[in-house]
Structure formats: structure tokens, C-alpha cells
Amino acid sequence: MNLRLVVLGSAQDGGVPQLGMSPAQEQRYTASLAIVSDGGHAFLIDASPDLRHQQRALMAHDWYSQRSSADPFDGVAITHAHMGHYTGLVNFGMEAQAARGLPCWVTPRMAQFLTANQPWQALVVFGHIALNPLAEGQEFEPWEGVSLRPVVVPHRAEFTDTVGFSITNQSTGVSAFYLPDLDAWSPEAEREVANHDISLVDTSFYSRDELPNRDMSTFPHPIATDTMDRFEHLVGERMIVLTHLNHSNPLTDPQSVESKSAAARGFHVATDMMEIDL
């Protein structure tokens, strides 16, 4: 089966530019990924606050435009309960698209969070979304020919735990790892990047002094230079895509010195609607 990843958004949770900030900055939607097939299947990883606009942009995709189902997606998987990653689920409620039983794959803690808090609880109770809690490392197939597996990663856990998703095209064997958010590289997360053909990884910040007015230790993320040093030995055999960019990250500007440096080192910077064959 022919499968393709489509980057629906490449910004950190607040989007680029953030609310009230300079409109001169090139727009990026909040991080989210679609998996599409040439048969018109479509699966969503993370439901961002920009979901309406992202799905509209996806309608221009040649495979997605052939989709016959009235539902915009065959299912959704959520990485964690920070605002940029799940609040787009409101679009599946009775005020909007009113999905009937949209399969929603999440960790047990995420399932508990959605079941216990409004307005998400209403989506569950009225059957707009059908929660499928995943055991650690449990594989699932949104449709025949593609499998996904959650990978637990360290990340601020005020509400839920956090996972990345391993994605495999069963017919080609090509695999991708989608990891939009983590605090620091754990040995497990690092191993997953080494084991996948393609990885799209959290690169919220380029350097540690990027937000002079905020204490960055309160929202830790691996920084771009560290991530590139860590994975430089994989470049050539693996495709590594830097995503989930904060508005302050110079990688948001393709003309910046930092963007040119990343490209020269063999790394890719995600852009909205970027397509990657799987």
C-alpha cells in the first residue's frame, strides 16, 4: 500500500505567530501529522487547535481528495494532554462535525483525562469519539497495511503521560517515528530514532537563551544543536525532521543562518503540508 505522511502543522502548541504577535512572521499551524493512503484512507496524530484549517489544506492533497467517507479521518491518536495536541477534538462534537464513534487511540491516562473532564467527557459519553486505551507498546492498525505503536517519553505530566508514535508501512517495511514533545532525550527515545527510517522530532528551541524573559527550565525541551549533535551519525541512512518549532526558534525562518546550518548538517526542517513517502 502506498502511504504518505503529511505534516499538518510544524509549530509548538501556540502556533506561529502566536496570538498578538507580529503577523510578519510566516504562519505555521500547530504540530500535527496525517497519514494518508492512495486508497483515500486518512489517520490523524494529534488534534490541534488549528485542525479545521489543516483539514481544509489537506483537501488539496491528491490522495485525500479521493476520500469517499463523510468522516474527515478514519481515526485519531493523541500524544498527550497539552493544549496544542488534543483540543482540536472539539471539532468532532455535536456543535460541529458530529463524528459517530471516531476511533481515538490514547494511553490509559489520557483516556481517563478525557473521560473525567468536560467538554471531552461529552464527546465520550455521547459517542462522538470511541476511546481505545493502549497498553504500553501495544500495536494497532487503523486500517490493514499500516501499524502504529505508542512509545512513552519523558515530558511534563501535569495531566497525562506522553507518547510518540511509531508508524510502519506493512507492505514496504518503511517506518517513521513521530515525537512532537519531550523534556529530554531518554535512551529509549534515542534508540527509537536510530531504529526508524524517518523521525520527526521535537525541536521547540534552537538555544537555551531564546526566551530571555522566561525561565526555560520550567518547560524543558531538547535544543536543536544538542539534537543535531546526538543524531548526526545517523544522517545519510536516516531522515530526521525537526518540528514543533517555537515562534522564537530561528529554524522557523528558512533563510536564517541556523536553518542553513541545519540543512548543511543533513537535517530537515518541517514545513506545513510537507509530504514524506512511507
Q: Which is nearer to Zn ion, 156 or 265 (CB)?
A: 156
Cα gap 193→90, rounded to integer Å: 32
Q: Which is nearer to Zn ion, 74 or 202 (CB)?
A: 202
Least spacing, CB of residue 156 vs Zn ion, in Å: 6
Cα gap 238→158, rounded to integer Å: 33
DSSP string, 52-90: HHHHHHHTTSTTGGG---SSS-SEEE---SSHHHHGGGG
128-to-100, 102, 124, 254, 257 alpha-carbon distances in Å: 5, 6, 6, 40, 46
Least spacing, CB of residue 7 vs Zn ion, in Å: 14
Whether residue 119 is preceded by a cis peptide bond, meaning omega within 30 degrees of 0, is yes
Max intra-chain CA distance, the chain = 51
Least spacing, CB of residue 208 vs Zn ion, in Å: 18
Strand segments, DSSP code E, in 55-193 are 75-77, 102-106, 129-133, 140-143, 146-153, 162-169, 175-179
Least spacing, CB of residue 111 vs Zn ion, in Å: 18
Q: Which is nearer to Zn ion, 143 or 219 (CB)?
A: 219
Which positions lie near Zn ion, rule CB under 5 A? 13, 82, 84, 181
Least spacing, CB of residue 125 vs Zn ion, in Å: 26
19-to-48, 85, 90, 203 alpha-carbon distances in Å: 15, 17, 20, 21
Q: Which is nearer to Zn ion, 10 or 97 (CB)?
A: 10
Cα gap 26→15, rounded to integer Å: 11
Q: Which is nearer to Zn ion, 41 or 244 (CB)?
A: 244
Q: Residue 148 — left, alpha, or beta (φ > 0 → left; ψ -120 to 50 → alpha)? A: beta
Least spacing, CB of residue 162 vs Zn ion, in Å: 6
Q: Which is nearer to Zn ion, 161 or 181 (CB)?
A: 181
Residue recorded with cell 517506518: 175
Cα gap 96→240, rounded to integer Å: 36
Q: Which is nearer to Zn ion, 50 or 181 (CB)?
A: 181
Least spacing, CB of residue 168 vs Zn ion, in Å: 24
Cα gap 108→160, rounded to integer Å: 9
Closest-by-Cβ residue to Zn ion is 82
